[in-house]
Structure 1
Amino acid sequence: MNPVHLETLLAVVDEGSFDAAADQLAVTPSAVSQRIKALEQSTGRVLVRRMQPVTATEAGEVLAQAARRMRLLQAETDAQLTGRLARVPLSVAINADSLATWFPAVMAEVAGWDGACLRLHIEDEAHSVALLRRGDCVGAVTREHTPVSGCETTELGVMTYRACASPALAAHYTRADGSIDWAAMPALRYGPKDKIQDGDLKGRLDTPPRNRRISQVPSSEGFLEAVRVGLGWGLVPDQQSRQLVSSGQLVVLDDRVETVALHWQHWRLESPLLTQLTEAVTRAAAATLDPVSR
């Protein structure tokens, strides 16, 4: 199988279009199209769905994963021969809360690695493993502890979430008896795949009300700010809320907690760079996340 064709397939999948892939590879869009057609002819499979954005078919995903492995191994082989690592994008799937709290320590480590760079895919921790399964990334922060085929899993720790609101919002929706009017108080969601917030009323109300007032803020930092200014209440990780609670800018609404155990899944591959990344991820998580209860 032609390595140039595989690299072209990977560029098309990553960039989402033939034109963008051509720009990255410094060739014409026509050359990209010809390479993809040649690869499809040699494999006897349609490898990409020609839409906007371009996506890989099931067969294309298999080849894209193979291309990523080849790229990483080639770069490390070259490094052993020349003493310098070629530019290697380490594609990682991660949830927004992790990116906003403990993962910056990983970025700081990667910044000191010669030639390496990160390409992050923001995805809910319940869905990030799908990117790993498709071969879109070499590692993923996920809730799923069962390893994807061809991968290994490392336990990272627990993120603990509590219901928080601004003092003014909490006071407005607290009844005379001290109970909270959960049905009426406006709430927040990160996005349509927000599994944490989806169960926010469980144990607080027997029947969730219809037509709840819910705002959607698809950014971890923006979500926290929306809670702080009183747009709604939300489940916020302790790593983000502690200082704001201590300073009186947020209040914790009740004693209930939601916990999410996080795992690091990565390819089972003899790669010094991937091993380095795994060590950086586990160190950063251990320094910030709560330990898993036994």
Structure 2
Amino acid sequence: MKDITQLDPVALRTLSVAVRLGTFEATARELHVTPSAVSQRIKALETRVGRVLLHRVKPLEPTEAGLVLVRLATQTELLEREAVAELVEEPGSDGTAYTSLPIAVNADALYGWFVDALAEVQVRHRVVFEVVREDHTRTAERLRRGEVMAAITGEPRPVPGCRVVRLGRLRYAAVATREFHADHFSDGVGSASLAEAPLVAFDRSDSLQHDFVRRVTRRHLAPPVTYVPSVREFDRAVRVGMGWGLLRESDVTEELRRGDLVELVPGRRPEVALYWQHWRLGSSLVADVTDAVVDAARRWMAT
């Protein structure tokens, strides 16, 4: 077996930046070298490991082997920054850069509680965050590709090299305004009415409403959809009658009691289980982020 120990850290970082930025030219600008130097570093790394690491397309596409080394490069950089931070007497006094931690988060968490958890971590660490908003059904793929170090996801199975912590469940109610319900569901909620009644979805990755339709009707229907990619405005779109949608159960209890909103199928309330997945690292930063996220999530879901 070929010995591939002692990989060049400069080449690893070059690969990681190339995958992040998508072209050799952008990578060269970031690293203050020529595009030829970027290409030579990556070719040397490919020769070292005996694998193709990048598909030379635009944007650059990592192979499976490339993803493994991108994760290694990102993890190494994080641990190096933490080690340097421990060696200096005052954080930042020597010009030590902030650690950047990329995290993939679903919209409900991002707009509900997630930023508060990150702010708590910044009190103790010299860190900034790159928050990537993605549907909870897709965040695990971002983690698998090495694009982020942690993610809130609906996937309970650990991504290779990751640890999973269960956060809890969000329960939703499919609701519409009283007027919308009278206009579109006066003859009941079934395949015919659900195929015709407009619904509101967050974006094209949001499958929650369509999953509800499929569970109720046992059919794949294609109702008209209004996409509103903002949690607050999504809720407002449902409440002003643009369509029906799934809102968090605890947010609509009083409106359902008053009759301002009507539940499409009373008692049929889907739940979404959420998990926190993060790379297994001996990192105090990742550990503190995990503690803050888990505590904040469980408090929020309990309300």
TM-score range normalised by the length of the shorter chain: 0.7 to 0.9
**Stretch of structure 1 that moved more, 200-209 or 29-38:** 200-209
In the other structure, the counterpart of 1:56 is 62
In the other structure, the counterpart of 1:197 is 209
Unaligned runs of 5+ in 2: 1-6
Name which of 102, 117, 127 aligns with 2:113: 102
- Map Cα deviations across residues 191-241 of structure 1 (whole Å, 9 max, x no partner): 4443322212245435555x5222333443443343233322111224665
In the other structure, the counterpart of 1:182 is 194
In the other structure, the counterpart of 1:279 is 291
Cα 1:227/1:24, change in 2 over 3 Å = farther
What is the distance in 1 between the residues matched to 2:179 and 2:302?
30
What is the distance in 2 between the residues matched to 1:91 and 1:182?
39
One-letter amino acid of the structure 2 residue matched with residue 3 of structure 1: P
In the other structure, the counterpart of 1:16 is 22
Q: Is the 8 A contact 1:239 1:288 kept in 2?
A: no
How far apart are residue 87 of structure 1 and its match? 1.8
Q: Is the 8 A contact 1:101 1:240 kept in 2?
A: no
What is the distance in 1 between the residues matched to 2:108 and 2:76?
31
What is the distance in 1 between the residues matched to 2:242 and 2:27?
41
What is the distance in 2 between the residues matched to 1:112 and 1:60?
35
What is the distance in 2 between the residues matched to 1:244 and 1:49?
53
- Map Cα deviations across residues 63-99 of structure 1 (whole Å, 9 max, x no partner): 0010011011101110111142642221212212221
Q: Is the 8 A contact 1:101 1:239 kept in 2?
A: no
Give 1:209-288 correspondences, 5 Å limit. 209=221, 211-238=222-249, 251-253=262-264, 254-288=266-300
In the other structure, the counterpart of 1:81 is 87
Q: Say yes or no: does 1:123 pair with 2:129.
A: no
In the other structure, the counterpart of 2:184 is 173
What is the distance in 2 between the residues matched to 1:206 and 1:137?
36
What is the distance in 1 between the residues matched to 2:149 and 2:282?
12
| RMSD between superposed Cα atoms in Å | 2.8
Cα 1:25/1:245, change in 2 over 3 Å = farther
In the other structure, the counterpart of 1:154 is 165
Cα 1:69/1:252, change in 2 over 3 Å = same
Q: Say yes or no: does 1:40 pair with 2:51.
A: no
Q: Per the alignment, in what secondary structure is the counterpart of residue 173 of structure 2?
A: strand
What is the distance in 2 between the residues matched to 1:203 and 1:3?
50
**Stretch of structure 1 that moved more, 68-77 or 92-101:** 92-101
Q: Is the 8 A contact 2:152 2:277 kept in 1?
A: yes
One-letter amino acid of the structure 1 residue matched with residue 290 of structure 2: T
What is the distance in 1 between the residues matched to 2:250 and 2:19?
35
**Stretch of structure 1 that moved more, 156-165 or 248-257:** 248-257
What is the distance in 1 between the residues matched to 2:249 and 2:125?
34
- Map Cα deviations across residues 144-193 of structure 1 (whole Å, 9 max, x no partner): 22222322111111111111224432332241x7x444343211333444
Cα 1:250/1:133, change in 2 over 3 Å = same
Q: Is the 8 A contact 1:49 1:56 kept in 2?
A: yes
What is the distance in 1 between the residues matched to 2:116 and 2:163?
22
What is the distance in 2 between the residues matched to 1:29 and 1:109?
40
What is the distance in 2 between the residues matched to 1:19 and 1:279?
39
What is the distance in 2 between the residues matched to 1:265 and 1:182?
35
Cα 1:47/1:222, change in 2 over 3 Å = farther
What is the distance in 1 between the residues matched to 2:203 and 2:39?
36
What is the distance in 2 between the residues matched to 1:92 and 1:106?
12
Q: Is the 8 A contact 1:94 1:140 kept in 2?
A: yes
In the other structure, the counterpart of 1:3 is 9
Q: Per the alignment, in what secondary structure is the counterpart of residue 199 of structure 1?
A: helix
How far apart are residue 277 of structure 1 and its match? 0.7
Q: Is the 8 A contact 1:150 1:268 kept in 2?
A: yes
How far apart are residue 251 of structure 1 and its match? 4.7
Cα 1:82/1:226, change in 2 over 3 Å = same
